Amino acid sequence: MATVKDFRTSVKPNWCPGCGDFSVLAALQRAAANLDLDPSQMAIVSGIGCSGRISGYLKAYGFHGVHGRALLAAQGIKMANRDLTVIAAGGDGDGFAIGTNHTIHAMRRNIDITYIVMDNQVYGLTKGQTSPRSTQGFKTKSTPDGSLEREISPLQLALASGVTFLAQGFSGSTKELTKLIEAGIQHKGFSMINVFSPCVTYNKINTYDWFKENIVSLEDDPDYDPSSREMAMQKVMSTNELCTSIIYQEQRPSYTELLPNANHKPIVKQELELGEERFQELVAEFA
């Protein structure tokens, strides 16, 4: 039986004291242990930003990519070895700015990976500029008179892009967040979990206290049906996306299940050497 300790590394996180990302890491480690995953059968891919450091703090195969490209590498890993549990992680700047296109296409493709977005609504690593998730009027060094742009809506974007599992959690509620990550990993298809992960250094608006006062849990609504995309869209709009829990889930074949070679061994386990005769045939075909 796996334990949380199995997923810890000797590297001490260098996030700011109080950063919400600590809770995301703890919840991910706890979820992996609860699901009895094997670290040698798990991979985590991250982008650039404070959140991107998480791939160095989880004991599993890790890949720290470039900004906005975590989902590309994560999907490639899953395609090569669908036996792996693949986690992609990044911040709101990573997933909803330079990486927006990759986020949308991964959702509609429904490839079987879990994407955790650590949404602090600011660019923390580069000293606190406005991010795509900063609210209109948000003042930072890059927008001293307030942001003129409307913030992106990740939940509405996900629902409109065909996501099959969508959840939202909060770093101030690690127990709920752990359950959401467990459910996301168990989902057969693309799962996105947006996490309100406060930046205690550069975002003085969207603090832990602010979220506690404003978010609502859909688990408190006995009439809420997460299998209804229409109800999900209505709920996220009516709450201004300040809701947690599983927002939406449906079952449909994942991308890897639809591949022509879906019943074959994963690519990394196949015998890829060509015989001389086959090699010469290929050479002749392209000569």
Tell me the CATH number at 141: 3.40.50.970
Non-local (6+) Cβ contacts of 132 within 8 A are 92, 93, 96, 97, 100, 151, 152
Both structure tokens of 56: 């160095």
Does residue 48 belong to any structural domain of this protein? yes
Does pLDDT of 225 surpass 80?
yes
- pLDDT attached to residue 278: 87
Does residue 278 belong to any structural domain of this protein? no
CB 91 within 8 A of CB 49: yes
**How many CB atoms sit inside 10 A of residue 146's CB?**
13
**How many CB atoms sit inside 10 A of residue 206's CB?**
22
Does residue 226 belong to any structural domain of this protein? yes
| DSSP state, residue 69 | -
Does residue 61 belong to any structural domain of this protein? yes
Per-residue pLDDT, averaged over 263-272, amounts to 82
Q: How many domains is the chain built from?
A: 1
Does residue 263 belong to any structural domain of this protein? no
**CA pair distance 50, 235, nearest whole angstrom:** 30
- pLDDT attached to residue 222: 95
pLDDT confidence of 275, banded at 50, 70, 90? confident
SS3 string, 7-73, reads: HECCCCCCCCCCCCHHHHHHHHHHHHHHCCCCHHHEEEEECCCHHHHHHHCECCEEEECCCCCHHHH
Largest separation between any pair of C-alpha atoms in the chain:
70
**CA pair distance 276, 287, nearest whole angstrom:** 16
**CA pair distance 259, 80, nearest whole angstrom:** 12
SS3 232: helix
pTM above 0.85, yes or no: yes
CB 24 within 8 A of CB 116: yes
SS3 90: strand
Per-residue pLDDT, averaged over 30-55, amounts to 96
pLDDT confidence of 270, banded at 50, 70, 90? confident
Distance set, CA 135 to CA 149, 170, 257 (Å)? 8, 18, 39
- Condensed to tens digits (0 to 9), the pLDDT of residues 87-103 reads 999 999 999 999 999 99
**CA pair distance 8, 281, nearest whole angstrom:** 49
Per-residue pLDDT, averaged over 182-207, amounts to 97
Both structure tokens of 263: 């019943």
Does residue 251 belong to any structural domain of this protein? yes
**CA pair distance 90, 192, nearest whole angstrom:** 11
- pLDDT attached to residue 38: 97
SS3 98: helix
| DSSP state, residue 5 | G
Higher pLDDT, 107 or 269: 107
Does pLDDT of 204 surpass 90?
yes
Per-residue pLDDT, averaged over 58-62, amounts to 97
Does residue 286 belong to any structural domain of this protein? no
Domain residues for 85?
Answer: 4-256
Does residue 270 belong to any structural domain of this protein? no
SS3 219: helix
